[in-house]
Structure formats: C-alpha cells, structure tokens
Structure 1
Amino acid sequence: MLRRPQDCRRRVMKMTETFLKPMHPEGWKFVPVFAAVTLVLFLIWQPLGWIGLGLTVWCYYFFRDPKRAVPQNRGLLVSPADGVVSLIGPAVPPPELGLGPQPLLRVSVFMSVFNCHVNRAPIAGEVTAVAYRPGKFLNASLDKASEDNERNALAIRLDDGRQIAVVQIAGLVARRIVCWTKPGQTLRTGERFGLIRFGSRLDVYLPEGVQPQVALGQTMVGGETVIALIGQEAPARSVRID
C-alpha cells in the first residue's frame, strides 16, 4: 500500500519534533563554544572530534526548552522541574524569605545533568520575595544541600493569601543559578522563571496542612506533574512499587 505524500510529511514532522527540541536562549552561550572546540578536535584527531560532537549534542539537549501541557485547574501545584523526587519531609523554609521559623512540608526534585533544566512556577501567584544566597556546591541530592549550597529562593503568594516557597539549589556540577523573575511579578502556573546550569535541585515548601500527591523516587515532569492540591482536602498519596 502506497503512502500518501501528506502522511509521509506528517511522519517526518513527528520524528523531527521528537528529536529536535527548542533551545533556551541561555544555551547560545555554550553550544557554539562546544561546536567550535569539536571542530578543532576533528582537525587534531578524528576520534576526539566524535567525542566533542557527543558533548555538543548533550549540551544542546541540556538547554532544551520543550513545550509542556500545563494543567489549568485551580489549586493544582505542579513540579517546578524535571527530575526525581529525592526528599519529602518537614523543613524550615529559607529565612531570607521571611516565611517564619515553623517547618513546612518540603518536596525536593533532583535534576541530573540529563534532565531539562528550565524551571517553572509551581502555581499561579504574586512573587513577594526573591532572595539569592551564595554557598557551597555539595551533591544536591543530600539533605544538607538545602542549608549549605548556593541557592535562590522565591516566595509566591496565592489568591487566598497563603504562600509557598520554591528554591533553586546549585549542585556538585551546577555553578550558575539563573532567575529572571522579580518581586511584584505575577506568575502563571508552569510559567518559566529561571534555570540552573548543569545539574541541581528544586525545593517546594507547601502551605501548612497541604499533603503531597507524589512519592519518593517518582519521576517528575516540570510544569505537568501535580505535586499537591491547594484548597482541597486530600490525604498524602500512597503508592505501590511494582
């Protein structure tokens, strides 16, 4: 059976969309450098050039910025990043945000160097504070990274007056936190607010009484996976590892 030309074009477009993702503008600071070094490596010794090509492709994918199907239902708090849930438990939010000394339930999403590193707002609201604090570059999967590592924290006030905190944490490889969001700015759920270069972690501090709808080890999709239900009675999620 012969395929129609339009069917073939659709298949090609789908394959292209699968492998070629939009790249965030931050990537243009790095990908051309990787490509130039790769060209030099090919001139020096071809096997080195192929290694450089692989690293260039990795750099491009690191800065990929794919579109996401952000849920629009009121009260949904979504993951701010791609990655894996590495920690769930009570913790005091960064003091520089002024949210008080009481522990809140914290959900941490660890991003490897292979994850998309564009960070998205967990929920719609007004940014009331943005606070950067220098620090160490420990492994971001460790609990103490929240206290010791370089970080950038945002407080977001919801429509009902409650606040959440979302914290960008640098990791062992990450050396640059980027945040283009300012206090007073209103964010939509899933809106891009920053990124972290080369591996790190995002912490989300939930309002008092809100239970997470995710589990340790769960794979998260930034802007899509629901972390919690705000303003709705919902118990903490239970799971079965199968």
Structure 2
Amino acid sequence: MFHKEGGKIILIATTLSVAILLLSKEFITTFWLLKSVQIATLILLIVVLQFFRNPKRTVEINDNHIIAPVDGKVVVIEEVFEKEYFKDKRMQVSIFMSPINVHVTRYPVNGKVKFSKYHPGKFLVAWHPKASEENERTTIVIDNPVFGEILYRQIAGALAKRIVNYAEEGMQVVQGEDAGFIKFGSRVDLFLPLGTQINVKLNQKAVGGKTIIAIKS
C-alpha cells in the first residue's frame, strides 16, 4: 500500500521508467550500457516506491500511552525550554527518519487539536540542534485527557522539501491515525510534560503507531 501523497510522484516515476526502459532497448546497442541503464532505472523506481509505502498497522489505542508518531531512530531525550507554545520546560523526545524509513506521520495520542501552525524555514540536516527552531516545520498541539497538552513538531531535513499536515485546530483526532507526511528525510520532535515516564532509550528504533514513547503511571 502506498500513501496518497505519493500518487503523483509515483505516476511520474513509473511513466518515466517505462519510457526509459523502452527507449534504451531501442537506441542503446552496447549490451553492458543497456543493462546498466535498465538496472539504474529500476533501482530508482524501487527507491521512490519504498519511500511512499504506507504499511497497514493495527494500533492498540490507550490514553495512558504516547506512541511513536513516525518510524526512525530516537536521537534526543532531554529536558528543554519549549519557546513557541508552552513557553516553559518540557521533556523532548526526537525521532530522526532516514530516506529509507516510512515517512507517514501518525497522531501520538487521542484528543482535540488545540494548535496547528506551519513555519517556513531553512533545510538544515534534520539532526542539527537548531533544526527544531530554524527549519521548515509544523507545530501541532493535542489536548489529551490523561497527559494534557502534547506538542509534536514535523521538521523538514536537508532533503525534505514538503511537509504535509492534516491536523486542524478543533479537530478530534484518534491515536495512530494518519496525521500527515514528510517527503524525503526528516525528523519529528515530541514535547511532553515534565515527569512523564519515558519508555524509550537513545538510538532505539521506533516504529510509528507501535512503539510506546511514554507511559502514564
């Protein structure tokens, strides 16, 4: 299954790939060059297809859990001052997505969307310390009945040139459902209340909709 955000790109990539394969067979007579072009074309098509894959996952909805909004590696777990919305100290958990990860964003909790804002910005590498404040990004706050207000931030990386965010203020959202998409390499930050019991470790692999990031004890 592929994500709807990849529909146009997949169509273009497939059409171009078929055209290249047909034309190369017609006009390239050198065997090794023909095979090289064909193999490279198929590899590029596979890369595009795997990037927009959207695996179906069964989410165990639980208001006492905050789940990973994306696939990737946990790169930050630390107490920080959140400047944009809370303007106080929060526990930040960040997940970095490489180009080979699934790039679907999922709602980490149930609740009502209290805040949703897009920010234009730079395209620093996603693991850069200033990426959370200076890169193109969206900030979303969900009010959950157990944890209170949870903020997550989609952040563009050096390759990511478009962030898709489905969350709108006033919406009631369901934990694990599709919340958006980030195209070509990125990161998501979670900002949680101080004292939240973190359930992951640095460098741990996170699976969107499955890995439990934090628990309410």
CA RMSD of aligned residues (A): 1.4
The one-letter code of the counterpart of 2:8 is K
Amino-acid identity (%) = 38
Q: Counterpart in 1 of 2:192?
A: 206
Q: Which has the higher contact order (CA 8 A, sep 6+)?
A: 2
Q: Counterpart in 2 of 1:108?
A: 94
Q: Decide whether the 8 Å contact of 2:111 with 2:142 is kept in 1.
A: yes
TM-score normalised by structure 1 residue count: 0.82
TM-score normalised by structure 2 residue count: 0.91
C-alpha displacement of 1:41: 2.6
CA distance in 2, matches of 1:94, 1:83: 25
Secondary structure of 1:92's aligned partner: strand
Q: Counterpart in 2 of 1:166?
A: 152
Secondary structure of 2:63's aligned partner: coil
Give 5+ residue unaligned stretches, structure 2. Answer: 29-33
Q: Counterpart in 2 of 1:63?
A: 52
Q: Decide whether the 8 Å contact of 1:130 with 1:183 is kept in 2.
A: yes
Secondary structure of 2:189's aligned partner: strand
Secondary structure of 1:167's aligned partner: strand
Q: Decide whether the 8 Å contact of 1:87 with 1:107 is kept in 2.
A: yes
Q: Counterpart in 1 of 2:20?
A: 41
Give 5+ residue unaligned stretches, structure 1. Answer: 1-21, 233-242
User: Where do 4+ consecutive residues of structure 1 move more than 4 Å?
Assistant: none
The aligned runs of 1:58-207 (5 Å cut-off) are 58-95=47-84, 98-99=85-86, 101-160=87-146, 162-207=148-193
C-alpha displacement of 1:181: 1.8
Q: Decide whether the 8 Å contact of 2:63 with 2:144 is kept in 1.
A: no
C-alpha displacement of 1:199: 0.7
Aligned residue pairs, count: 207
Deviations 1:154-211 (A, max 9, x none): 0000114720101000001000000122111111111111010011000011112103
C-alpha displacement of 1:39: 2.5
